[in-house]
Amino acid sequence: MHLMASSTITLEEDDKEEIRHYGIGNWVIGIVAFKNGKLQMIKAPNCFSFSLAFRYGPAAMAICIPVGSCKLFCRAVDLKGQGCRRAQWDASVAFKRCLQDEFSRSCELSKFSHVYRSKASQPIICKKWRTLTAVTSACLSDGSTKYFDFVVIGSGVAGLRYALEVAKCGSVAVITKAEPHESNTNYAQGGVSAVLCPSDSVESHVQDTIVAGAHLCNEETVRVVCTEGPDRIKELIAMGASFDHGEDGNLHLAREGGHSHRRIVHAADMTGREIERALLEAVVRDPNIFVFEHHFAIDLLTSEDGSDIVCVGVDTLNAETLEVTRFISKVTLLASGGAGHMYPSTTNPPVATGDGIAMSHRAQAVISNMEFVQFHPTALADEGLPVRLEKPRDNAFLITEAVRGDGGILYNLSMERFMPLYDERAELAPRDVVARSIDDQLKKRNEKYVLLDISHKPRESILSHFPNIAAECLKHGLDITCQPIPVVPAAHYICGGVRAGLQGETNVRGLYVAGEVACTGLHGANRLASNSLLEALVFARRAVEPSVDHMRNSSLDSSALNRWARPFVPVSLGNDFMSRIISMTKDVRKQLQLIMWKYVGIVRSTTRLETAERKISELEATWEEYLFHQGWEPTMVGLEVCEMRNLFCCAKLVVSSALARQESRGLHYTIDFPHLEESKRLPTIIFPCSPTKSTWSSRQLHWQPV
């Protein structure tokens, strides 16, 4: 192979199976692609970073200039265990093979900078909800810092839908806490609400949403979401999402509590799973999206620009390798879900520990409406099952709203129907009403669960509409086609979160939010059933244009890399040290959950909330004192400890917001102020506070001295 003076490199016959790149001083030649026997120069390295979105054939390389004046170096890198599902690019050199429709090539860099072709390997879609298998590649760095145009935190419907759009304009890292499919989306049973029937109307959907939200919704937001929703559904269908159809060939539309029309698009009782499948398949096919699984987001990286706070990335902990990786990006989308595990029983998966809300609060983002915690009225009550579970579930099994929408009736254990006593809409009342009614029945009768009966419907109809629920119950000796289902309320959804504008923007420049982590104003004081997936789809799409504009107008300052203290895992202190910390933290977590359920549950009072505030403060202080007495340092990180920080932070936000609202509205019901007050029909807003005056769980790690 000969290096030519021109932009074309000619390959000799013996070089056809080898591509070689050459460093010139501290620079790398550029991007080259194998084409017609020649290596064609595609782009010179005249910028700090650039998009990797190209497809020039089976042998292509992308090369980026080194940071600052560092010298070019090469070494073989084993990406196994790093959690990257595709090729990566970072500070020194970016390298990527084009992913063809039929194959993708696996490569390795030797210390002599040789790149050898290897046997083609195809990304596989696994049966277990299409998780991604690793496509190996190599990168020239220690792996501790990676650069992308966009970083997406979360792999639910909001994060994946956004990633697929912005990937058209730049490189995208999707950071997910567990496997890519493990998100609240995957557990969403009911469906997505949208106006798709001629007898329905956007105005009707708007009014249903506002009524359910106790008139605290932002009407402009509601109209935008209800208007754009149908197009978002059609896009999903075009991407391959398969929803149920009726005998007439049209989409089968279900009805749920609070809706005046049948407008719920669904895939049996596994809608979220089907949407997640379609999106993940599209992500696999996109060569510009890189998925980093088992990467826990620790803290957002922020800097000050005059009076503005700017987000430039995130620190993460690889939960499998216990390595800390820093992601630097021009734009960050936070789509990390909710915080259901503040409570002992929740329908949320284990990953929902309020990480995004807590990180944003520490990063000086505005938080809103955290008092509105939605308790789903019908989670499966394991104590009422004929066959008991061998071990407790990580999260409560959801019995979808659609069961009541399809005619399910609630009874107490004496088989007395009780919902008509509380609301004229009976079982079709909004979730807050149904949850409070069940809570009242349980307390009055000193019982542990109520019964939801759908057995009066035809067996074939039940099994076709609710196959997942029927199968889960049958595992434990319960046939829902002839027996009632034991149910109990469980923490389900946070209507509050990071305050966002109509395009998902926050008060932190470069930080956008979508999904449950965001407070867009759609839900108000109570989320209307099946509006959550709808909101995620709409705002993920609306955040694209401003994100791309921000990316194109931003530059990354390589000199700022060491501005923030590096978190580190205390592996040198030994297993006994971490065992003591984890054991203590698990116990503290259970105590916090019990405090939240007892004092900040479905029915509240000022005294209970003040008691919760005091107990949480004392528990947090005890926990932090124990950690630091054991030798923990402010910049140390561990998965359990970081989750505990976030749970404390979110719990305090919920309690302080609840104390501030002196009325009962939607999901916030207090016996001291049992009525609506029109003068208090305003959102609760928590502005940033000084990090120096807060507890460790409320401060960014990089506020600590290095």
For domain 571-686, the CATH class is mainly alpha
The answer on pLDDT for 43 being more than 90 is no
- In this prediction, residue 62 has a pLDDT band, given cuts at 50, 70 and 90, of very low
Please give the single-letter amino acid code of residue 6.
Answer: S
Q: Does domain 146-373+494-555 have CATH number 3.50.50.60?
A: yes
Q: Average pLDDT, stretch 233-237?
A: 94
pLDDT single digits (tens) 257-304 = 789 999 999 888 778 788 989 999 999 999 999 999 999 999 999 998
- Tokens at residue 366, please? 């505005």
User: Who wins on pLDDT, 66 or 432?
Assistant: 432
Q: Say whether pTM exceeds 0.75.
A: yes
pLDDT at 115 over 70: no
Burial of residue 95, with CB atoms counted within 10 A of its CB: 0-12 exposed, 13-18 middle, 19 or more buried = buried
Counting Cα atoms < 13 Å in the Cβ hemisphere of 174 gives 34
pLDDT given at position 307: 87
Fold of 399-488: Flavocytochrome C3; Chain A, domain 1 (3.90.700)
Q: Which amino acid is present at 317?
A: L
Q: Specify the amino acid at residue 682.
A: L
Average pLDDT over residues 508-537: 95
Give the pLDDT score at 58. 29
Query: 92 near 140, Cβ under 8 Å?
Result: yes
Two tokens, residue 523 = 């839900």
Q: pLDDT per residue over 648-694, tens digit each?
A: 999 999 999 999 999 999 999 999 999 999 999 999 999 987 665 67
| Least confidently predicted of 8-17, 312-321, 446-455, 606-615 | 8-17
Domain boundaries, the chain: 146-373+494-555, 399-488, 571-686
Residue with tokens 């520490």: 362
Q: Tell me the residue length of the chain.
A: 706
Point out the catalytic residue in the list 85, 263, 362, 431. Answer: 431
**Cβ neighbours for 679, distance < 8 A, ≥ 6 positions apart:** none
479 with 466: CB under 8 angstroms?
Answer: no
Alpha-carbon span 654 to 659, nearest angstrom: 9
How many whole angstroms separate alpha carbon 178 and alpha carbon 175? 9
Rounded to whole angstroms, the Cα distance separating 438 from 451 reads: 10
What are the DSSP calls for 416-483, one per residue?
A: -B-HHHH-TTGGGS-HHHHHHHHHHHHHHHT-S-EEEE-TTS-HHHHHHH-HHHHHHHHHTT--TTTS
Strand 145-153 and strand 192-193: pairing? unpaired
Contacts of 236 (CB under 8 A, 6+ apart): 275, 278, 537
The answer to whether 431 is a known catalytic residue is yes
Q: Hunting for tokens 């949480």 — which residue is that?
A: 616
Distance (Å, whole) CA 78 – CA 101 = 25
Q: Which amino acid is at 382?
A: D
pLDDT number for residue 692: 59
